[in-house]
Amino acid sequence: MPEAKDVRLRDLAPGDSDNLFAWRNLPDIRRWMYTDHEIVREEHDRWFAAASKDPSRKYWIVELDGRPVGLANLADIVPAHRKATWAYYLADAAVRGRGIGAYVEFLVIEHVFSKLKLGKLWCEVLVDNKGVIKLHETFGFQREALFRQHVVKGGEPQDVAGLGLLAADWAAIREETRARLQRHGFPA
């Protein structure tokens, strides 16, 4: 039997600012973000101060066994259009590759479709981030767009894939996905 893992999403709190500042500047995190410059403290402080005040956004700290290891968020929450975008990262390299990201994806999808009652969840991923694209596809996301030369990273234009998941698509694979996560020790 796989070892049980206690993965939780908790609301962003004032004490999370320093961790987020450090995490966002890690080369492994900046590599996959639209902006890859090193963020200065003033820029971070402005973002952090606005983060909890914007009703079109929701931020969570990803915790593993009570320890902060990453960030998940919803953005562009538009109830009138029944959609939102999302993203996440695991800042602690030691927890990557252990299924934590998959469970975070499950938790966010459940929140979007069960609690918020939205009809679509959307994300954008640099096309070179093949592992994350594949992960999203295992949760039912479908490629809906290719944004050619959409962002510039390291002075070079990069393509971005747009992936979407509809509530009906999720409903069709939800139980199968839940069972898969349970087999890997997650309390889905």
- The full set of domain ranges for the chain reads 7-183
Predicted local confidence at residue 2, as pLDDT: 45
Q: In what order do the strands lie in the sheet with 120-126?
A: 7-11, 58-64, 67-78, 83-90, 120-126, 156-166, 142-153
Q: How many alpha carbons lie under 13 Å from residue 149 in its C-beta half-sphere? A: 3
Q: Whole-number mean pLDDT of the chain? A: 94
The predicted model gives 140-150 an average pLDDT of: 98
Predicted local confidence at residue 5, as pLDDT: 74
Banded pLDDT at 35 (limits 50, 70, 90): confident
Of 124, 103, 113, whose CA–CA distance to 171 is shortest? 113
d(Cα 82, Cα 165) in Å, to the nearest integer? 12
CATH no., domain 7-183: 3.40.630.30
* Residues in contact with 46: Cβ distance below 8 Å, sequence separation at least 6, in sequence order: none
- pLDDT > 70: what percent of the chain? 98
Tell me the per-residue pLDDT of 57-66, one tens digit each, with 9 for 90 and over.
Answer: 999 999 999 9
d(Cα 129, Cα 34) in Å, to the nearest integer? 12
Better-scored residue on pLDDT, 171 or 34: 171
Residue 79 sits at φ, ψ, to 5 deg, of -55, -35
Decide: 102 and 131 in contact? Cβ < 8 Å.
no
Decide: 75 and 57 in contact? Cβ < 8 Å.
yes
* Residues in contact with 75: Cβ distance below 8 Å, sequence separation at least 6, in sequence order: 56, 57, 84, 85, 86, 87
Predicted local confidence at residue 143, as pLDDT: 98
Q: What is the pTM of this model?
A: 0.93
Tell me the per-residue pLDDT of 104-116, one tens digit each, with 9 for 90 and over.
Answer: 999 999 999 999 9
Instruction: Give kind and range of the element (H or E) at residue 56.
Output: none
